[in-house]
Every structure is written in C-alpha cells, then in structure tokens.
Structure 1
Amino acid sequence: MNGYLAEPEEKGPYPALLVVHEIFGLDDHPKDVARRFAAQGYVALAPNLFTGPIAETMTPANVQLAMRALAGAPSDLRSNPAKFREFAESQPPERRPVLEALAQVTDPVTQDGFARDLIACREFLQSLPSVNPQRIGAVGFCFGGAVVGRYATVDPTLTAGVIFYGQNPPLDRVPQIRAQLLGQYAGEDPGITQTVPQLAEAMERAGRSFRYQVYPGARHAFFNDTRPNYHAESAALAWNRVIEFFRSTLG
C-alpha cells in the first residue's frame, strides 16, 4: 500500500489524521486535503486503499464510465453485492471490468478489509517521531466516509472520526465504537442522508458521541472542489466545523 504524507513545517509532535479517499482512489483531492490539514498543525496520511488490479481498473475515467452505467440502475444496487455483480455481467464488455471492481470495493466484506488496512496506517503514523501517538483521527469522503465509519468499529484507539456523505457503518457494531464521530451530509443526497438518523439513534442508544450537519442545496461530494458537485459555501462551513471538531478532540 502506498500513500501521501503531509506534515507541518515545524518539529512536532502533532496529532495525526488519516484522510481516506473517494471512490476515485488517491487522486489530487485527498492529497490537497492532507496538505490543508498539515497547514492546520496535523500530520496527515492519505493512504491509497486500492492496490493491484483494482488500482489499475479504478481510474477516474473508468469510474465515471461506471457511474454513467449506474445512472439508470435500481437504487438498491450498491447495497446488494450479488445484485450488483449480476448487473455488471449484463453490461457491455468495455464496462464490465470497472463495474466488477466497483462491486468488489463496495462489498461490505471488502470494506471491512479496508477498515483493517487503516489500522496498519494508524500504526505507521504512530511510529513517526512527528506524531503524538495518543491523538489519532480519521476523515473520509464518500467511499472513504463509509470506510471510516467501519474503521471506528474495529479500532478502539481511534479518538475522532469524520464521515463526509458516507454510508452508515453496520448499526449492530455501533456499541464497539469508542471514537467521537462527526458527520457532514448533503441535503440533495437522499440515498445517504435519509439513513443518518438511524445512525444517530444507534449511537445515542449505545451512549456514543455523534453530531452531524446536513447542508441544504448541496449534492453528494459537495466538498470536492475538483468535481461538478462542489458547493463552495457548504464546503467552507464544513471545513470550519471539521477543524473545530478535531481541535476539541485531538488538540
């Protein structure tokens, strides 16, 4: 696994963050976010969770091709791995490889594996002399937001996590979460946002900390200034809230 590391200019130790990419892999956006966090006094690692054949297939151009193919597909496709694979097999040959890869990386079993990969990334951060090993957080976007939610259920050492428009972690695992969580969601993203109250209720029942905001008029991926759905006003407000959250939880 490779990644992108951004560190503050002055000597630490500093709190550290994992910055988990969207479905497009480790492109310019998570690297830029990592640099922005470094400028705020955090060591930030943006790992590339896609390796081997998946990394070769899940290029931005291929993912866009898959998204166009999925535009008219049933809304529950991504939550049903078997149905997703059947859909991929029904598509023209040029679309099948990326759709099959997309089905694989969004499969809950695979995402649990990605969550475990983040434990190794956290251990790497803790080994750095510039990092305070007791102050580790994570933030993820879209696909990465879903992975961060799952990661919070498997790593009790995580202090704080931010989910940007990612699917909920399995609700039956919520009692395993020890980190404080913050959610940032788009008002025009019903497939994701309408499920958030279920997570909030599960977190409250388990006595866990979860706050979230919904941004009216914003669409999925509103924080990514390299994508068409970028919503500058919502992104700026979300950034301020995320920095405030990490200041209060990590320092």
Structure 2
Amino acid sequence: MERKIASEFDQELLDLYDDFAHSRIDRRAFMDRASKFAVGGITAAALLEALSPKYVFAAQVAKDDPRITSSDEEYASPKGAGKMRGLLVKPAKATGKVPGIVVVHENRGLNPYIEDVARRLGAAGFIAFAPDALFPMGGYPGDDEKGKEMQAKRDGKEMVEDFIAAAEWLQKNPATDGKIGVVGFCFGGLISNTLAYRIPDVIKAAVPFYGRQPAAEEVPKIKAPLLLHYAELDTRVNEGWPAYEEALKKAGVTYTAHIYPKANHGFHNDTTPRYDEAAAKLAWNRTLEFFNKTLKGA
C-alpha cells in the first residue's frame, strides 16, 4: 500500500477533510464539496478513502517488541463512566520505578495509531497508559468514522473525569515513581491542557499536540511545564493560541511552543496524508527530550 502525502492534495480539500473528521460537516456534505476535486476518473468517495487513516502504517513499535510489555487494564472512574479500560505499556527492562505518561487519543477512541504512540513511550523507558473513552460503549470499533460517531455521543464532562481518573490511577500504580505526564492529540491535546489545570498536583509535564486551549481564568492553576505543538495550517486550533500564550505569560507558567511550518492538523499521525514526516519526527524528539528532562530529570 502506497502512503499518500499532503502535497498530493489541494489544501482546500485537506481543510474539507478536517471539517469532516471533526464532525463540522457530515459525509454527504464532504462528498458534495469534494466533487470539484474528483477529476480524471477519481470519485469523491475515493478521495475520502485516500485521506482516511491507513493503520497498516501505525507500527513503529510492534506489539511483540522485546523492549516492552503491554496489557489491557481496567480502572475505576466514579465521577465519569464508572469503569474504564486502557492499554498499559511498560519498559521490559526497567530497573526500579519510572515515570508514567497518560496518552490521550483523538476524537474517535483508542485506535492503532494511539496504541503505537503508547508503545513508543514504553520503548523510550516510560510507563504509558492509553485509556479508551469508548470503553463504556464497547470500545474502539475498528472504524474511525464509527468511533467518531460514538465518541460524539459521550458526555464531555464525564470523559474529562475518565482521563483524570486514569492519571490518578497511573500515579498510584506500583510500577511508577509518582511522576506523571500527559500527551494528547487533537481532542487529546485539549484533554492534556485540561488535566494540567484540573489536577496540577498530579500532572508534572504536559504535551498537547494541536489541542484546543483552556479558558484564560483556568491558566493560573497550571503548575506543570508545557510543551505545545501547533501546525501552521491549522487555523481552527491556532486562533486560540494568542490568548492562551498571553494568559500563560501573565500566570508565569513555564511553556515552550512550536508552530511547524506548512504542517496540517494531525501532522504527527503517520497513518494519514496529513502526516508530515519531518515535523512529526522533530516534534516527537522534542517530546521525549521534554519528558526526560521534566519527569526523569535527565
């Protein structure tokens, strides 16, 4: 299977797909508006298929990689869904306790890409825990479009509580040293920002990838240093950045922000054409360096 890249598509079409992926338009509206790009025998349906994730590419760290061990773990979320489940990944040869990192998925449940991100962190020497917000509805359905529809039906406040409970559960896990970070993508970026101010005594480092920003009045509650990744072409999310930066400066919060040139929303997701290899690798290296510094003191 050949990997498509963003430059093969008109930016207007990429933005249209972003609207579809975030439920601002439905499938019919996407097909109607994408029809003008359907030329040379290519249909709108084929364009949608080309732009959608191909999880065969989401395997930077194999499930049976000898550097890690992984298991599905349930945890209590009394203020959220009641009972939740996530993927727990541990470094196989860790000596002593190590920091933990909550990995927060996009708006469609715990898909193979996010599972692989958790495995990457495990291979890097952290204990990673990736909850599935769709567990109360049967779990990620194996289809992103269905997953998106399912997640949209969940109560937003309950989902926040589910991820708070995950961070608190991970902090108490006997394999961790109590130092907890969070990294998230899109919806997960919003949750990463949210956890930083909701549970500031738990979260010691937060890395939101192209995530919506919290209200200015919440920012002074943040204690953890932040590493924020944005995509230059992601105007929808970026519109909230100036006010967030102003609030961070005013509150004296330690932060570093990067805006990746010519990158689209979702540039770290290596299963879609919006993936930007150079930006993704740079952002990930920065993320690992940040977590090593803030959680391990390296």
Same fold (TM over 0.5): yes
Q: Does 1:146 align with 2:190?
A: yes
Q: How many residues align?
A: 211
Query: In 2, distance between residues paired with 1:54 and 1:14?
Result: 31
| SS of match in other structure, 1:250 | helix
What's 1:179 paired with? Answer: 224
TM norm structure 2: 0.66
Q: Which runs of 5+ in 2 are unaligned?
A: 1-83
| Identical-residue share of aligned pairs (%) | 38
Distance in 1 (CA, whole Å) between partners of 2:145 and 2:205 is 33
Q: Quote the Cα distance in structure 2 between the aligned partners of 1:169 and 1:143.
A: 12
Please report how far the alpha carbon of residue 44 of structure 1 lies from its aligned counterpart in structure 2 after TM superposition: 0.2
The verdict on how the C-alpha distance between 1:54 and 1:175 changes in structure 2, with shifts beyond 3 A counting, is farther
Q: What is the alpha-carbon root mean square deviation over aligned residues?
A: 2.0
SS at match of 1:22: coil
Tell whether the 8 Å contact from 2:132 to 2:140 is kept in structure 1 after alignment. Answer: no
Matches within 5 A, 1:101-250: 102=152, 104=153, 110-133=155-178, 135-156=179-200, 157-250=202-295
**CA deviation after TM superposition for structure 1 residue 39, in Å:** 1.0
Alpha-carbon separation, structure 2, partners of 1:141 and 1:232: 16
1:6-17 to structure 2, matched below 5 A, reads 6-11=89-94, 12-17=96-101
Q: Which of these two proteins has the greater Rg computed from alpha carbons?
A: 2
Report if the CA contact (8 A) 2:133-2:151 is conserved: no
1:175 shift after superposition: 1.0
* Partner Cα distance (1:60, 1:230) in 2: 17
State the Cα distance separating 1:122 from its structure 2 match: 1.8
Aligned residue in 1 for 2:123: 39
> Cα deviation per residue 1:70-124 (whole Å; 9 max; x = unaligned)?
xxxxxxxxxxxxxxxxxxxxxxxxxxxx3x852x55xxxx444323222221222
Contact 1:164/1:185, CA 8 A, preserved across alignment: yes
2:26 paired with 1:26? no
Q: Is the 8 A contact 2:111 2:142 kept in 1?
A: no
**Superposition misfits of 4+ residues, deviation over 6 angstroms:** none
Normalising by the residue count of structure 1, what TM-score does the alignment of the two structures yield? Answer: 0.78
- Whichever structure has more helix as a proportion of its residues is 1
DSSP 3-state at the match of 2:280: helix
* Residue 43 to residue 101, structure 1, CA distance change in 2 (3 Å): closer
SS at match of 2:261: strand
